[in-house]
Amino acid sequence: MNLITVSLTPIAFAHSIAVGMLAGILTVIIVMSLIVSSFAKLPGRGCTRYWASGMALIFVGAIMFMKSRDGNGVAFGVLGFSCLLAGFLIQWQGLRIFHLKQHSPHWREIAALFVVLYGLALLNEFSYAMRLIVISLACISIVSMCVLEIVRHNRARFSVLHWSAIGGGGLMMLSSCIIVLDGLYAGIDIGPANLTVAGLLINVIIPVLGLIIYASSMVVLYFYRIAESTNYAASHDELTGLLNRRAIIQYGRREVEVALRSHQPLTVAFIDIDFFKKINDQYGHDTGDAVLREVAHLLTLTCRSVDLAARYGGEEFCMVFAGQRDSDGGAEGLGERLVSVVRNHQFPGVPRVTISVGLAVLPASATTASWSELVQLADTELYKAKNGGRDRYSVYFDVKEAARSSGSGMALTEAGAWGPKGRSSLEAG
């Protein structure tokens, strides 16, 4: 049974339905024109221009190819096929750009394959149905590659929008599969002279609806990525990829509140690269930037997933360690790890790089504290470490509860815990 050319009875009712569908198609085309224009105006990545031009070519190609059915000759068919094939390939390349990939070199082979198939269909004077099958196979092939591209690059965080884009592509492939099967077994007749409801549904409504769903989903995903990038840029340092000063202050305040409520210890560390100005002056700012990036990476190696690391400004870093206990080596063990991981690292282009670290500890027994107080204490300890010779750490302990139990009126007692007294090779002078 020919699924495409089935006419509904009575004939007058079928024609009225067809007219209604044509009005719907006109509305769909207007909507798609708005989507295409919005694609072209989107900022940033070149993928939007690919999507806009690809959609425009697909619509122009579909109209031209259908016109070739009404005796308008080979020219309309060839132009329509070329626009359709180019449109689908451009859509695929735009999707690769969206996923931060290079242009695929295989587009030439894909284009050549279907050009040869279509050329053979013309040389052998195949019917309109067989030529439409070639276009449908091209659509199935390229849209399936788009779907695979979406699945492959979003496995870790698949969302409703990804499913929606895949569903739109599925509708386009479903329509093409029906056209292929029906054309192979019954022939296709969808010219305007004998337009039917089924023909409109399979050849126009379903693929256009699928393209709208696919395109709309990709637009939303594009803006979602822009929002993610904006949020990331607002909270992270561009050079090192660590949190920036504003973010560490925001998250640090929250961590202090959580530590006080849950009676968990908290350690704030301030870190400064020793003699960083000399590194910049002697080896250049590019080397200085490389040192900053490398130190940032080394510091993150000492972090757990719950810890925070930020570039506070210049060559200064700030870190927050939640739940550090004596069994983990406490603040002294933490300070030693931070100093050692940088001291023992071989930096390219620089003989030796060291850091000084100041740590302030909020014990589990604390009942009141603020982020600004801990930062000030850690910063004070940092300067003590630098004045003590650099390449070392200094820790400030809050022993308020111990002082109370002994009857002393002191609220805070300083315990000077110092790291190894090595000297930086850049300290001379």
Residues 43-57 pLDDT 10s: 555 777 788 788 888
Band of pLDDT at residue 342, cut at 50, 70 and 90? very high
pLDDT at 87: 87
Is the pLDDT score of 312 beyond 90?
yes
Q: Give Cα 411 distance to the centre of its chain.
A: 49
Distances (CA, A) of 16 to 8, 22, 195, 222: 11, 10, 11, 40
Distances (CA, A) of 41 to 35, 44, 48, 141, 215: 10, 10, 8, 29, 15
pTM over 0.95: no
Mean pLDDT in residue range 350-374: 90
Is the pLDDT score of 321 beyond 90?
yes
Omega before 265 within 30 of 0, i.e. cis: no
Could you say which of 3.30.70.270, 1.10.3210.10, 3.40.720.10, 3.40.50.1820 is the CATH number of the domain covering 245-418? 3.30.70.270
Q: In what order do the strands lie in the sheet with 308-313?
A: 308-313, 316-322, 266-273, 355-362, 393-397, 417-418
Residue with the bigger pLDDT between 73 and 226: it is: 226
**Range 315-328 burial, b when 16+ CB lie within 10 A, else e:** bbbbbbbbbbeeee
Band of pLDDT at residue 110, cut at 50, 70 and 90? confident
> What's the pLDDT tens digit per position in 235-254?
999 999 999 999 999 999 99
**What is the average pLDDT score of the chain?**
78
The domain segmentation of the chain, as residue ranges, is: 11-232, 245-418
Phi and psi at residue 395, to the nearest 5°: -120, 140
Band of pLDDT at residue 386, cut at 50, 70 and 90? very high
Band of pLDDT at residue 363, cut at 50, 70 and 90? confident
The answer to whether the beta carbons of residues 331 and 324 sit under 8 Å apart is yes
Residue with the bigger pLDDT between 410 and 114: it is: 114
The answer to whether the beta carbons of residues 87 and 57 sit under 8 Å apart is yes
% residues pLDDT > 90 (the chain): 32
Residue with the bigger pLDDT between 334 and 411: it is: 334
Residue with the bigger pLDDT between 333 and 327: it is: 333
Give the integer Cα–Cα distance in Å for 191 and 227: 46
Residue with the bigger pLDDT between 303 and 382: it is: 382
Centre a 10 Å sphere on the Cβ of residue 122 and count the other Cβ atoms it contains: 15
Return left, alpha or beta for 127; rule: phi > 0 is left, psi -120 to 50 is alpha, else beta: beta
The answer to whether the beta carbons of residues 315 and 247 sit under 8 Å apart is no
Give the integer Cα–Cα distance in Å for 292 and 295: 5
Give the integer Cα–Cα distance in Å for 192 and 257: 71
pLDDT at 399: 37
